[in-house]
Structure 1
Amino acid sequence: MARLAPLIEEQWRTELADWIAGGDRSAYDAAVGVFGRAGMRWAGLPGTAAAQTRWAARLAQIVDGFGAPYSPEFVMSALNRAWSDRHAQKLVEATRAGRLDPAEGTALHAWAWHRDEQDVLLPARLAGIELQNCIRPLIAVARFVAFAAKELHDRPEWRARIAAETAERGSLVSGPLATAFAQEVRRTAPFVPVLPAWALEGIELDGERVPAGGRVVLDVLGTNLDDGSWERAELFDPERFVGIDDYEELAAFVPQGGGATVAGGHRCPGEKLAIVGLAAAVATLSDERVAVLGRGLEVNRRRLPTKPASGGRVRGAGAAADRCPMH
């Protein structure tokens, strides 16, 4: 957390400057680049910003493509996975050969030199896959950023409050209002609607008998929007998270898995990183010098994973008013 947060801030400031200067990347595409570059630098990976952005786009497409079987996107996802596996394997091999020297404590160093229970180095391909598992999930948080752009567009009063908070703090990272907004995005966004699992042995769950090999499905979105657990559950209201210091105590808040802890449940080990990155995105998108455009914010809830169609188009505030509405 301590190493990643300043990298995320640096990258979001780069995207903000680009939007102000006339760039028109969507919030989603910008977030893919931000989380990709920050995550790769955090992980000790080499490469220029442009090269890291291109790899991040491949990793994001892997996440997107698996939701469209029997489609060109699915085929592209398989090709991107094969390319990424080879590339990550080469990084591990280069580290072991001494051609790369990542800092101790980085993900590349850790996986390149990780040994199994028999004190044997992992196969380079497997180590490379695990290396990707340290960065690809962070890039997937870009989908939450697209939903955040949609909600900020619809709530100018919250944009103003978060912009004032950010200006007062002088930082994009971990603002209380931006974090509360990010948490409400995670509660309401149909990004991961369900989490399925197989029962390894016969169990009883809520009075129902599940045999070994039976399937259990956690209704993520339904739990997060449950009227019995949330006041006015259907409303988007970040105020419900203002002043909540320990969100893990909220049993019905399971946007990235449930359970009290990572070790004792199915809570995502990268959840805190996701919150920091998403809150920084919310602060960035709330800047009065940029505007989120209203077109293309519809969401296809039959698509998994899903996001607003346009990804949330963003432009400099002046440019947004000056541009032709058809472009």
Structure 2
Amino acid sequence: MDVSTTPLIDRSLSAFARGYTWLPGLLGGRSGGVARTRVLGKPALVVRGPEAVRFFYDERNVRRSGALPGPVLSTLFGHDAVHTLDGDAHRARKEFFLPLLDPGRIAGLVEHVSAAWDDAAREWSKQGRVVLFDAASVVLTRGVCDWAGIRLDGDSAVAELARDLVAMVDGFATAGPRHFRARRARSRQEQDFTRLVEDVRAGRATAPQGSVLAAVCAHRESTGELLHPHTAAVELLNVIRPTVAISWFVAYAAHALHLHLTPRRRDRLRDGDIPYAAAFAHEVRRFYPFAPYLGGLAVRDLSWRDVAVPAGAMVLLDVFGQNHDDALWGDPHVFRPERFLEHPVERDELIPQGGGEPRTGHRCPGEGLTIGLLEALAMRLADLEYTVPDQDLKISLHRIPARVRSGFAVEQVRVTGAT
């Protein structure tokens, strides 16, 4: 293959400065676009579109091992996490996560989180102002830990863990105070969860039978050896942390209910219209910014649509750009859940949590948990009555991860029928 040697300007600073708009700016409005650039000293191939998703997730083309920068591993995923593996090692480690795809497991988590939400909502009705982003993080932490078999000692322990889990997500893609808070949070929780794994294995603590905690403590690598206690802690956090990251989507859901949904459409959620709740959850995940892009390394000299890069180059999948591609969505900058009632979700079209096959590839196995929880919490959110005080509801596309600036504050909360 003829690999281009045209000099490229390193665009690493543009990635930090432009955030979610960086890769869409490089690709322009072209559906299925492709471009070359340079990032972190490496040549990079930038791709977008369903066919590009299949190209990106083909292990003959792109590997994840060695692709994730150290600062991301030290904050978001953890070192030696499943996200860093490929091939047989990746498939063996992923066996731990595959039960999360089971509908019964999803229903169990939804039940635990819904109960935590209902308890919290009654308390919110006694408070003056509630910031939904912060409140949701505590609800999700309590619910997922109950479901996973992790006992937390009182409300302060739940709140502390929630703060650390949010910090891990909030600081992975930035420099400065947010990043160092994320590093400290991960270090603190990895130590605590490592001790928990060691205590369970030594019989000093109990993991409920069939729980996520019991599964990670018993899981064996492709070599047949038990996971190292620290690695087990990392993977346990990789179940808990993404669940608590749904706080971003809860705040986005409130933002959508307030600014984009008519009362009639909100009533569909309030009345328990399950298909509409599923469509609403998909549209929140498509419309609002979360993952900007995903990266891997070229296994060999690659060419995509006549644009070539050498082996070892970066390959970047434009997640945000694809979720706002006019050719795929028609009116991508309009919040319209009905699009997912008119057209079934295609695996490699909607990729807010990655693409490909979740059972064998790198697509997030917790995506089903995210959808199930967002459906349930969106219906509960629609069923709450509250006022929305003046606040800053802007969402900056230059901040990664983006979030509703105010966290979406509500006042005069009143619980109605469903909760």
Q: TM-score, normalised by structure 2?
A: 0.69
Give, in angstroms, the shift of residue 161 of structure 1. Answer: 3.6
Q: Which residue of 2 aligns with 1:148?
A: 253
Q: Does 1:313 align with 2:412?
A: no
Q: Hey, what's the Cα distance between the residues in 2 that align with 1:165 and 1:224?
A: 23
Alpha carbons of 1:263 and 1:165: their partners in 2 closer, same or farther (altered >3 Å)? closer
Q: Which residue of 2 aligns with 1:256?
A: 353
Q: Does 1:89 align with 2:194?
A: yes
2:280 to 144, 165, 181: 181
Contact 2:110 2:376 in 1 (8 A): no
Structure showing greater relative contact order (alpha-carbon pairs closer than 8 Å, 6 or more residues apart): 2
Contact 2:269 2:378 in 1 (8 A): no
Q: Does 1:80 align with 2:185?
A: yes
Contact 1:293 1:312 in 2 (8 A): no
Q: Hey, what's the Cα distance between the residues in 1 that align with 2:170 and 2:198?
A: 28
Q: Does 1:55 align with 2:161?
A: yes
Q: Does 1:137 align with 2:257?
A: no
Q: Percent identical across equivalent pairs? A: 36
One-letter code of the match for 1:47?
L
Q: Hey, what's the Cα distance between the residues in 2 that align with 1:122 and 1:34?
A: 29
Q: Which SS does the other structure have where 1:315 is aligned?
A: strand
Q: Hey, what's the Cα distance between the residues in 2 that align with 1:115 and 1:148?
A: 39
Give, in angstroms, the shift of residue 288 of structure 1. Answer: 4.5
Give, in angstroms, the shift of residue 314 of structure 1. Answer: 1.9
Q: Which residue of 2 aligns with 1:44?
A: 149
Alpha carbons of 1:265 and 1:293: their partners in 2 closer, same or farther (altered >3 Å)? farther
Q: Hey, what's the Cα distance between the residues in 1 that align with 2:384 and 2:227?
A: 49
Q: Does 1:271 align with 2:376?
A: no
Give, in angstroms, the shift of residue 214 of structure 1. Answer: 1.1
One-letter code of the match for 2:231?
L
Q: Which residue of 2 aligns with 1:121?
A: 226
Give, in angstroms, the shift of residue 123 of structure 1. Answer: 1.8
Q: Hey, what's the Cα distance between the residues in 1 that align with 2:293 and 2:172?
A: 15
One-letter code of the match for 1:124?
P
2:392 to 273, 293, 296: 296
Alpha carbons of 1:2 and 1:286: their partners in 2 closer, same or farther (altered >3 Å)? closer
Q: Which SS does the other structure have where 2:408 is aligned?
A: coil
Contact 2:193 2:233 in 1 (8 A): yes
Spell out the pairing of 1:220-231 with structure 2 (5 A cutoff).
220-231=319-330
Give, in angstroms, the shift of residue 208 of structure 1. Answer: 2.5
Q: TM-score, normalised by structure 1?
A: 0.87
Provide Cα deviations, 1:82-116, integer angstroms capped at 9, x if missing partner: 11010001110110121221122212111112222
Q: Which residue of 1 aligns with 2:62?
A: none
Q: Hey, what's the Cα distance between the residues in 2 that align with 1:208 and 1:265?
A: 25
1:65 to 165, 171, 191: 171
Give, in angstroms, the shift of residue 165 of structure 1. Answer: 4.2
Q: Hey, what's the Cα distance between the residues in 1 that align with 2:131 and 2:110?
A: 22
Q: Hey, what's the Cα distance between the residues in 2 that align with 1:163 and 1:22?
A: 25
One-letter code of the match for 2:373?
G
Contact 1:12 1:280 in 2 (8 A): no
- Please list every run of 5 or more consecutive structure 1 residues that lacks an aligned counterpart in the other structure: 319-327
Contact 1:26 1:314 in 2 (8 A): yes
One-letter code of the match for 1:180?
A
Q: Which residue of 1 aligns with 2:98?
A: none
One-letter code of the match for 1:62?
M
Give, in angstroms, the shift of residue 175 of structure 1. Answer: 2.7
Alpha carbons of 1:134 and 1:147: their partners in 2 closer, same or farther (altered >3 Å)? same
Q: Which residue of 2 aligns with 1:322?
A: none
Alpha carbons of 1:263 and 1:83: their partners in 2 closer, same or farther (altered >3 Å)? same
Alpha carbons of 1:104 and 1:200: their partners in 2 closer, same or farther (altered >3 Å)? farther
- Please list every run of 5 or more consecutive structure 2 residues that lacks an aligned counterpart in the other structure: 1-105, 415-419
Contact 1:56 1:139 in 2 (8 A): yes
Q: Hey, what's the Cα distance between the residues in 2 that align with 1:180 and 1:107?
A: 29
- The total of aligned residue pairs comes to 308
Q: Does 1:105 align with 2:210?
A: yes
Q: Which residue of 2 aligns with 1:323?
A: none
